Homo-oligomer: A and B are copies of this chain.
């Protein structure tokens, strides 16, 4: 296992469907090539944006195999393998590792609230099953479980291959506390798009985001400005893309990113029901946001 955690902008893929709801792997391939061409530092298949939770086992396996074969080691990869049961999470983590993933990401999704001991044991079981690094992911908004900084530190201490922490609560204090409690040694990642400027300034090792499907150059420029210590430029780049980052995060990434990709000419289908295609007024709003950032868009469809 490499000891150097991933750094930079980690682009999350969507999972395209055909009009009949089947996987559209060809479109997935095109979306991956777009992000690699644009220069993202890593790619994360099957995350929240990738509707991983809505796929059946067979679909999930097809997507992980196809994604990793397409990326083919050109950039590091982080595969989301979260499931309600420990057994199925382990099974997915093993599959991802076999397919050559650089790392896996694990969100403690829950139905019944988990005790701290149950959460720690869950990560231990996954850690013992694979020998690639694990990115622990905290996002109570989707998982229903809020990992306290104390529990995160305990997992980091007890599970060797948990080496990265993705924080999506939107509370910058979590990052401050991870940083100070570990004397700056924990690699933490920003998972909350509208917090990116602050997370990077506070020392985040990377930015986990679906935005590079739409505006990769702006995302990468923001990352680079902070690395260069160019504070004024970073602030300016952040506020430039803020309205879009805020909107797609608040309104829901699968719906908005899929709609945005279609506007740029890459048809990736609807999100899976009960998620629906973005409504017309929201589409118009998204189109305005993208236009304002000089994204090249197809002319609007006429009825």
Contacts and interface: CB of A to CB of B under 8 A. Distances in A.
Given A118-B274, A239-B179, A112 B48 contact: yes
Majority SS of interface residues in chain A?
Answer: helix
Given A198-B202, A242-B180, A170 B170 contact: no
Contacts of A108: 274
Given A111-B54, A198-B202, A230-B229, A246 B122 contact: no
B273 A87 contact: yes
A86 B185 CA distance: 43
A18 to B, nearest CB: 14
- Count this chain's copies in the assembly: 4
Contacts of A86: 273-274
Contacts of A261: none
A293 interface: no
Interface in A47-84: 48, 53-54, 56, 84
For A85, A108, A125, A235, the residue with the greatest tally of chain B CB atoms inside 10 Å of its CB is: A85
Contacts of A109: 111
25 contacts: A21-B87, A48-B111, A53-B84, A54-B84, A86-B273, A110-B274, A111-B142, A112-B142, A112-B271, A112-B275, A114-B275, A119-B274, A121-B276, A122-B274, A125-B273, A170-B173, A172-B172, A176-B194, A176-B239, A180-B239, A180-B243, A184-B239, A197-B201, A201-B234, A203-B235
